[in-house]
Chain A
Amino acid sequence: SQTIHQWPATLVQPVGSPLSLECTVEGTSNPNLYWYRQAAGRGLQLLFYSVGIGQISSEVPQNLSASRPQDRQFILSSKKLLLSDSGFYLCAWRETSPGELFFGEGSRLTVL
């Protein structure tokens, strides 16, 4: 069966520090991968999606970037974090088109 792993689960970082959140999917091949951010009391904002290795689409101009170095690995990064980057980050994958998203457990980022 397919599983999705996301880490770290919790992260507290100072302003200006770098960020790397990692997401790995197991049990499937060539999935579509997504990064969402959920700010407190708000819905999910789509940040990036990828339909294949090295293919990244950005939805919102921001301080973050994404990479897909391997088929089932999706990484969210920042060179210098801002206070506004705080939030709950969710990785998700989808196998078929159309199809539902399967979510990881999320990574809570607090920038101080």
Chain B
Amino acid sequence: AQSVTQPDIHITVSEGASLELRCNYSYGATPYLFWYVQSPGQGLQLLLKYFSGDTLVQGIKGFEAEFKRSQSSFNLRKPSVHWSDAAEYFCAVGASTGGFKTIFGAGTRLFVKA
């Protein structure tokens, strides 16, 4: 069974500063990896995904993530954070069988200070 760990419950960064959100996964086969963002009281929106190929993937809103198989990690980065990026971010791993279940991490809440 797959699992996802997001070690940081919350992170505070200054507007304009760089951001890195950590994600480690556990899955016995090739993982399908995702990052989603959730604004309060709303559903989740996909930021980016990794299925295969280039290990550095670009997403929406200026986000990128790098897949590192040796470290079982898929960290999310942004070079310059905007106040509108304040939200909760979820890393997820999808299985290749069994209804393609997608398992989510506990999330990291991002606070942006002026």
Chain A residues close to B by CB (< 8 Å):
32, 34, 36, 42-44, 46, 49-51, 57, 59, 88, 90, 92, 94, 97-106, 108
| Contact present for B99 and A103 (CB under 8 Å) | no
Query: In the complex, what distance in Å separates the CA atom of A64 from the CA atom of B111?
Result: 34
CB distance from B114 to the nearest CB of A (A): 25
B27 within 8 Å of A (CB atoms): no
Interface of A is mostly: strand
Let me know if A46 and B102 touch, CB within 8 A: yes
Contact of A98 among B32, B43, B98 (CB under 8 A): B32
Distance in angstroms between the alpha carbons of A34 and B92 in the assembled complex: 14
Q: Give chain B nearest CB distance to A39 CB in angstroms.
A: 10
Minimum Cβ distance to chain B for residue A53 (Å) = 14
Knowing A44-B90, A90-B44, A105-B42, say if A100 contacts B34 (CB, 8 Å): yes
Complex Cα–Cα for A40 and B100 (A): 26
Given contact pairs A46-B101, A49-B101, A108-B41, A100 touches B96 in the complex (Cβ within 8 A): no
Given contacts A43-B90, A98-B32, A98-B94, contact A90 B43 (CB under 8 A): yes
Interface pairs (12), CB distance under 8 Å: A42-B106, A43-B6, A43-B106, A44-B90, A44-B104, A46-B102, A57-B98, A59-B101, A88-B41, A98-B94, A100-B49, A106-B41
Q: Which residues of chain B have C-beta atoms less than 8 A from A103's C-beta?
A: 43-45
Chain A residues in 8 Å Cβ range of B43:
90, 103-106
Give the CA-CA distance A99 to B103 in the complex, in Å: 13
